[in-house]
Structure 1
Amino acid sequence: MNENGKLSGAAKASYGLGAVGKDMVYMLSASYILYYFQDILGVSAAAMGVILMVARVFDAFNDPIMGAVVAKTKTRFGKFRPWLLIGTLTNAVVLIMMFSAPPALSGSGLVAYAAITYILWGVTYTMMDIPYWSMIPAFTEGGKEREGLTTLARSCAGVGSALITIVTVMAVSALGHMFGGEGIADREIERIGFSYFTIIVAALFVIFTVICCLNVKEKSTAHMETPSIGEMFKALIQNDQAMAVVVSIVIVNCSIYITSNLVIYFFKYDFGGEGWRGAYTLFSTFGGGIQILAMMILYPFLRRFFTSIRIYFISMGMAIAGYISLLILASTSMSSVYALFVPGFFIFAANGMLAVITTVFLANTVDYGELKNNRRDESVIFSMQTFVVKLASGVSAFIAALSLQVLALSNDTAETASAIDYSLGVSVMQKMGLRMTMTVVPIIGLVFAIFWFKHKYILTDEKIEEIERQIENRKKKVA
């Protein structure tokens, strides 16, 4: 705080830096854990699918428990910062362990190692993620200052995710060659590269969090609301509009996450070529930029002309068009990554706008619930957003892993044909199966979400205004 009681620039920057670090480790785990254990180490895709789904669902249910623990914590350093630091340190250690599996392990031992480290990673990440976001009211004055800091932190989180998306594949390859020596197999280079790259990311994560804890001072009077799982589902059952939005979020996110889980396999085994890493990095950089621009510029621009509901359907249509064009392009002999920018634009832009729109829809269901149930379940409803995103992440990872198992797609089936161009060892049927899973399955999910939302969600702009008037009139009568 400065002399005026306002949040200082150093505190804002430090808090944003914490978001960069924590989303770097989250993106590293979310995007590459399946690839690391299944493709590099040879763990069964089916086994990894079960591990990822069970761990993510468990993690989703673990959030309210951790929230309750943090809320009851009392130390001279506050209730949030101790858990933020403890969670970061333990998560960094587990992250390094997770991406540094002992080479001697194989079979059931490797499966057990993957399961234990991934579950521990999820638990320790929750230990720091819950207090990080919950501490905002503990050092802000509310209003514009709080909204501005939240926006800053979300933007910084996006930067952290983008950094990992852009640099991981190339950095892993460079570090693997640097520390692995000459004459070793490509998968061994990747294994070594991931180990060293993870150490670097974990170190930055700890440094950024320490800076955050040192420069952000929380107030001892801060109150933290921690809804239980029971309260979440009670709020959903009693609020049909919240249920409509939550189901839509699960289906949409699950559809998009399936593609994000498989895109690295597409570039390695289908798009192929010696330069597949560079093509993947270029595509990911373009997509990440489009997604951020869609959130910050495209959605506000379209909102000037259309309602949020209309933009929702526009976004869904864009995503479906993107998937159709991706399937068509992938089925041709195209070899330029720039051609993939066309479907990439539609899919990533739609994803960015949908992230904003679903948050707006959830906010609308809070007002609806207040009118219907005479109770404002704001914290409960928004806690559901994290819960359902993690649920969708687990389900999509299971579907992606199951498709890899059915297609028998891994290093083992490809490197025998060529250690440089892995696509040479993959059959046409395997490639077509991968393309269909990446495009047709998400299209089916998105079409279902469109029909579900159209028939279930009724909170138009006019309806929201009417609800706000009714709530205001009710309050005047009570007063």
Structure 2
Amino acid sequence: MADNKHPAPAPVAAPPKQTTFKERLAYWLYFYGQSMSWQALNAFLATYLMMVGIDITKIATAMVFVKLWDSINDTIFGVIFDKVHFKSGNKNIPWLRMTVILIPLMTIFVYLIPDSLNPTAKLAWFIVGYLLWDASYTLSDIPLYNMSTAMTTNTEERSGMLSIARVWAMAGGLLVTLMGSFLVSERIGMSFTKTVAIIAFLVFLTMIPLGFRGKERIKIKPAEEKYTFRRMFKYLGHNKYLFLYYGAYVISGLTGTGAALGLFVSYYLFGSALFTTLLSILTAIPIAIESLFINRILKHVDKFRFYFWCEVASVSVGLIIYLVGYRNVVLYIALVVLQALPLGFLMMLNLTFTPDLVEYGRYKTGIDARGIAFAFQSFAAKFISLAQPIGLFILGLFGWISVNASSFAELQAKHITQSSMALNGLWITSALIPVIGGAISLIPLLFYKLNDKDVQVMARFNNGEITREEAEKSLSRKY
């Protein structure tokens, strides 16, 4: 409740939408295709490598190497992104056009490991292929998220675009999970290589439109982007919410060790790799319904506060799932579908905060270092892919046996089993570790105080619509 000393901030009317539906659709389709490639590399890659005869510990070690580079090179590209200027005046579209070809090609290349190679050569192929794929993906990630700031200055429209983009990204990931797990299952028996080739073609088709439909209305002058490394570190030092939010994001992400092992969980704990397909369909239903209401919800509820309580709910249900176990299949499915409710909102919102953090950073420092901010986001998103090798390391501690099979049909034919200790390790790695990480991630989120209304005020100041004095009077608190 406001008092005389702290009057309620004056309401600020949001400007009208600046983008067309065709532009937004092209933007969302790019997310769809990009997510399909990401999912192909993160949902199936660990399983693929574990089935081509490579020792699980060596796979984990190699993944640590490539994924550390994966996260570091985004920061390097962030600096390059801020320094490179194209004659067209466009900041993002040229990069996005390059990656329409590169990402699909590199996606399929990773899965082309010849059977005739020895395990060491296979591992080397994976390392080279993944680094090439990562370089291609990096060229798209920062420009794609920054594109939202170039398409509109309306922060509400921007948040809506990004939240819906996350829905499209989830849909792309879901298609890959459904199609991939079905095709490589013991019932169909298609190889990972052929399956990913189909996915790569779909990636190409969905990423094309943005290069032709996308329009960059807000162009930052080169002079506005020039800053020294000293000023860059000053920017990062003053943008504490960037560290708080992505610190929590990294903690939760690094402990998401179950995603990469989903096919093995389905096959060994529930009797069929197709169980993943069933769960994906059942969890997609509530998420699809939620996506229809996300923008309406955000108009009435502060985005971060909603995000925080969804995280609490997801962790709570996750703990119940682990304690109940997987023996009662019907109860397990019901709990997983229940967890999908808060988890769906989390996935829609988790990468929509960076534009807010860009506005806050510019308000605090006067530096428009959006390339650095989005590089920080991309760094965090890539860094959490270390959850794959972390999961493999943990699973290796329980005596997991290496296998050599091109599909689950071949795995079934060879009657390869795992020990009870290995299966217990599979359950702990997939169910308990993510709960622990999610609970820890809530700690830094408790100190995040930036809200939607204040971001809108900061954006108006940054765009020169109001003075700093007017902005400070309208803010709900001192930043």
TM-score (norm 2): 0.76
Aligned partner of 1:351 in structure 2 is 343
CA contact (8 A) 1:18 1:208 kept: yes
Aligned partner of 1:180 in structure 2 is none
Aligned partner of 2:278 in structure 1 is 282
TM-superposed CA distance for 1:87, in Å, is 2.3
Please list the CA deviations of residues 363-418 of structure 1 after superposition, one character each: whole Å capped at 9, or x if unmatched. 77667767766767666445423221221222x112111123223435639999x9
CA contact (8 A) 1:258 1:442 kept: yes
- Secondary structure of residue in 2 paired with 1:115: helix
Within 5 A, what are the aligned runs for 1:328-367? 328-330=324-326, 332=327, 334=328, 336=329, 338-355=330-347
Please list the CA deviations of residues 229-271 of structure 1 after superposition, one character each: whole Å capped at 9, or x if unmatched. 987765444344443322211112223x212122222111122
Greater helix proportion? 1
The answer to which structure, 1 or 2, has the higher relative contact order (CA under 8 A, 6+ apart) is 2
Aligned partner of 2:10 in structure 1 is none
1: CA distance between counterparts of 2:371 and 2:144? Answer: 16
| 1:33 to 2:45 alignment | yes
1: CA distance between counterparts of 2:62 and 2:401? Answer: 18
TM-superposed CA distance for 1:25, in Å, is 1.0
CA contact (8 A) 2:78 2:371 kept: no
Residue in structure 1 matching 2:469, options 466, 470, 475: 475
CA contact (8 A) 1:165 1:285 kept: no
TM-superposed CA distance for 1:359, in Å, is 5.6
TM-score (norm 1): 0.76
State the AA in 2 paired with 1:205: V
TM-superposed CA distance for 1:121, in Å, is 0.8
TM-superposed CA distance for 1:29, in Å, is 0.8
Aligned partner of 2:264 in structure 1 is 265
Residue in structure 2 matching 1:434, options 415, 426, 437: 426
1: CA distance between counterparts of 2:360 and 2:152? Answer: 27
> What CA RMSD, in Å, does the superposition of the two structures yield over aligned residues?
4.3
Within 5 A, what are the aligned runs for 1:87-166? 87-136=99-148, 140=151, 142-143=153-154, 149-166=161-178
- Secondary structure of residue in 2 paired with 1:425: coil
**Total equivalences in the alignment:** 444
1: CA distance between counterparts of 2:318 and 2:237? Answer: 34
Please list the CA deviations of residues 412-436 of structure 1 after superposition, one character each: whole Å capped at 9, or x if unmatched. 39999x9539998222222111112
Aligned partner of 2:252 in structure 1 is 252
2: CA distance between counterparts of 1:132 and 1:446? Answer: 27
The change in CA–CA distance for 1:354 and 1:300 in structure 2 (over 3 A counts) is farther
CA contact (8 A) 1:45 1:401 kept: yes
Aligned partner of 1:321 in structure 2 is 317
State the AA in 1 paired with 2:246: V
The change in CA–CA distance for 1:50 and 1:230 in structure 2 (over 3 A counts) is farther
CA contact (8 A) 2:109 2:129 kept: yes
State the AA in 2 paired with 1:203: F
| 1:447 to 2:439 alignment | yes
Please list the CA deviations of residues 26-57 of structure 1 after superposition, one character each: whole Å capped at 9, or x if unmatched. 1111111111111x212222222233233233
The change in CA–CA distance for 1:217 and 1:442 in structure 2 (over 3 A counts) is closer
2: CA distance between counterparts of 1:310 and 1:151? Answer: 13
Aligned partner of 1:58 in structure 2 is 69
Aligned partner of 1:404 in structure 2 is 395
TM-superposed CA distance for 1:120, in Å, is 1.1
CA contact (8 A) 1:14 1:211 kept: yes
Aligned partner of 2:208 in structure 1 is 210
State the AA in 2 paired with 1:102: P
2: CA distance between counterparts of 1:306 and 1:135? Answer: 23
CA contact (8 A) 2:54 2:123 kept: yes
1: CA distance between counterparts of 2:438 and 2:159? Answer: 31
CA contact (8 A) 2:181 2:277 kept: yes
Aligned partner of 2:35 in structure 1 is 23
2: CA distance between counterparts of 1:349 and 1:28? Answer: 24
TM-superposed CA distance for 1:20, in Å, is 1.9
State the AA in 2 paired with 1:459: K
2: CA distance between counterparts of 1:226 and 1:345? Answer: 49
